[in-house]
């Protein structure tokens, strides 16, 4: 055992991503399979890919004269850009190494397109446009199932309005809200029904922000503008999909609802849900931009909104794509269905059989693990992505047991292996599972049962 240990390569002290070399440190947690995804530059730019078509459809609903479009911003950003500039508190779980890919302690793979907000608000003075759209690949450590993948794509949008009163520094001008409301009334949303909308201020708004920065009347006008613009997006996108595929809403009109949300950088905040195939599905998060964020970006004389939506989530609904892994498929039977850019229902290739394997282990005491940390489920998921790749469809915790005398915890997970393209053989799955078990012991120091 000792000699095997010595023969292991020493950990590299640098990492190269898209031709740029970064120093690594004790925060680094980028698995070996990830740089290849970064190198692809995002599926939202791949010609004829459904994520690219979905992006273009949504972009077409924002006037080019008002929205600057950014589609190739590099995925490696600073912790300051991804979290600090957006007012994430120091102890926010999103910052943890179990949720986020760290290149080193100051550098991450962006976990959302909001990482570019501050920079693009700053750039607004130069572009002269009051809005922007950003589409990009984003990265998160997460569970494994048919709607989660460590790389996905988001589109971010933002729009600002003059607050008036700039000369006096008194921004309480009610003409501002009236001006915004005139734009709201001009936006017509066909075939959409908003059901059970939350109150505009269901979430307690930071009173300092309201009193000193923008008036409730202005914030409400901005929130209405935001909601109307996004209702327009979903009514067009899903309306087109329902007409083309016969899927979606049983009702004549698409039903949506606004749910009160929470983001550290917007207030009030909302999530938009769509009723689709008999379920309410969250498609985006949004809100009125915190005024201090705009102030710091040199846009203190503006008030505005921002949203972030998941392109996979929307494309899966639009086309009826059942598994997020399909977006990465090299199979001709996938690509060929999207070549002409026409929206029609995805025809799944014949479904190949699944194979289930269980793994049971004792959760180690913190000091006993290789990394000297407590067990994090996302570490388990990542080891499995490393050995099983896209052949892993789903992972579920099926049993948890606490030993009555030792107090130790035992967990049992069920892993579903399935290829989207062919039938897996038993020896192949056995060998994948053997590699996985070995990696759990070597990489996480788990004691298997």
> Which lies closer to ligand FA5 via its Cβ, residue 131 or residue 308?
308
Q: How far is the CB of 85 from ligand FA5 (least distance, A)?
A: 12
Residues facing residue 270 across a β-bridge: 260, 286
> Which lies closer to ligand FA5 via its Cβ, residue 254 or residue 306?
306
Report how far residue 266's alpha carbon sits from residue 201's, in angstroms, rounded to the nearest whole number. Answer: 12
Sheet of 76-78: strand order equals 76-78, 107-109, 102-104
Q: 279-289 and 266-276: which strand pairing?
A: antiparallel
Give how far Cα 129 sits from Cα of 121, 132, 158, 160, Å.
10, 8, 11, 9
> Which lies closer to ligand FA5 via its Cβ, residue 156 or residue 393?
156
> Which lies closer to ligand FA5 via its Cβ, residue 274 or residue 440?
274
> Which lies closer to ligand FA5 via its Cβ, residue 24 or residue 235?
235
Q: How far is the CB of 287 from ligand FA5 (least distance, A)?
A: 5
Q: How far is the CB of 289 from ligand FA5 (least distance, A)?
A: 7
Q: How far is the CB of 442 from ligand FA5 (least distance, A)?
A: 28
Q: How many C-beta atoms surround the C-beta of residue 96 within 10 A?
A: 13
Q: How far is the CB of 423 from ligand FA5 (least distance, A)?
A: 27
* Contact positions vs ligand FA5 (CB under 6 A): 112, 114, 140, 142, 148, 152, 154, 156, 263, 266, 282-287, 306-310, 312-313
Three-state secondary structure readout of 330-354: CCHHHHHHHCCCCCCCCCCCCCCCC
> Of 420, 439, 419, 440, nearest to 428 (Cα)?
419
> Of 317, 318, 193, 198, nearest to 255 (Cα)?
193
Residue least distant from ligand FA5 (Cβ) = 310
Residues facing residue 373 across a β-bridge: none
Residues facing residue 203 across a β-bridge: none
> Which lies closer to ligand FA5 via its Cβ, residue 40 or residue 425?
40
143: buried, middle or exposed (CB in 10 Å: 19+, 13-18, 0-12)?
middle
> Which lies closer to ligand FA5 via its Cβ, residue 202 or residue 282?
282
Report how far residue 297's alpha carbon sits from residue 85's, in angstroms, rounded to the nearest whole number. Answer: 10
Would you state the structure tokens that stand for residue 82, as one six-digit string? 């991804």
């Amino acid at each position: 055992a000792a000699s095997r240990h010595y023969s292991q390569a020493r950990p590299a002290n640098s990492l190269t991503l898209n031709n740029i070399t970064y120093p690594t440190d004790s925060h680094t947690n980028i698995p070996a399979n990830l740089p290849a995804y970064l190198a692809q530059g995002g599926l939202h730019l791949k010609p004829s890919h459904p994520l690219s078509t979905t992006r273009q459809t949504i972009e077409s609903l924002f006037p080019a004269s008002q929205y600057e479009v950014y589609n190739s911003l590099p995925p490696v950003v600073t912790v300051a850009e991804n979290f600090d500039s957006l007012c994430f508190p120091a102890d926010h779980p999103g910052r943890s190494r179990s949720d986020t890919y760290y290149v080193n302690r100051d550098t991450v793979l962006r976990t959302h397109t909001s990482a570019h907000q501050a920079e693009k608000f700053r750039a607004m003075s130069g572009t002269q446009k009051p809005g922007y759209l950003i589409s990009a690949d984003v990265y998160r450590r997460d569970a494994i199932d048919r709607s989660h993948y460590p790389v996905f794509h988001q589109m971010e949008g933002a729009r600002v309005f003059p607050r008036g009163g700039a000369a006096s520094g008194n921004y309480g001008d009610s003409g501002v809200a009236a001006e915004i409301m005139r734009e709201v009334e001009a936006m017509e949303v066909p075939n959409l029904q908003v059901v059970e909308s939350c109150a505009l201020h269901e979430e307690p708004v930071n009173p300092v922000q309201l009193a000193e920065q923008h008036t409730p009347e202005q914030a409400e006008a901005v929130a209405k503008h935001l909601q109307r613009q996004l209702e327009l997006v979903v009514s067009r996108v899903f309306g087109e999909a329902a007409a083309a595929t016969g899927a979606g809403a049983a009702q004549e009109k698409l039903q949506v609802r606004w749910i009160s949300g929470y983001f550290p950088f917007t207030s009030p905040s909302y999530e938009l849900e769509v009723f689709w195939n008999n379920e309410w599905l969250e498609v985006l998060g949004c809100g009125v931009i915190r005024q201090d964020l705009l102030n710091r970006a040199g846009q203190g004389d503006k008030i505005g909104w921002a949203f972030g939506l998941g392109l996979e989530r929307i494309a899966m609904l639009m086309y009826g794509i059942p598994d997020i892994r399909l977006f990465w498929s090299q199979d001709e039977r996938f690509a060929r269905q999207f070549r002409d850019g026409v929206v029609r229902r995805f025809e799944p290739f014949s479904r190949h059989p699944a194979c289930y394997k269980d793994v049971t282990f004792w959760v180690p005491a913190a000091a006993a693990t290789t990394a000297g940390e407590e067990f994090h489920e996302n570490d388990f998921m990542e080891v499995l992505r490393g050995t099983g790749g896209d052949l892993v469809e789903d992972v579920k915790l099926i049993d948890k047991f606490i030993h009555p005398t030792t107090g130790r915890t035992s967990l049992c997970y069920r892993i579903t292996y399935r290829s989207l393209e062919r039938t897996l053989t038993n020896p192949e799955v056995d060998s994948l599972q053997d590699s996985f078990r070995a990696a759990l012991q070597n990489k996480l120091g788990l004691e298997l049962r």
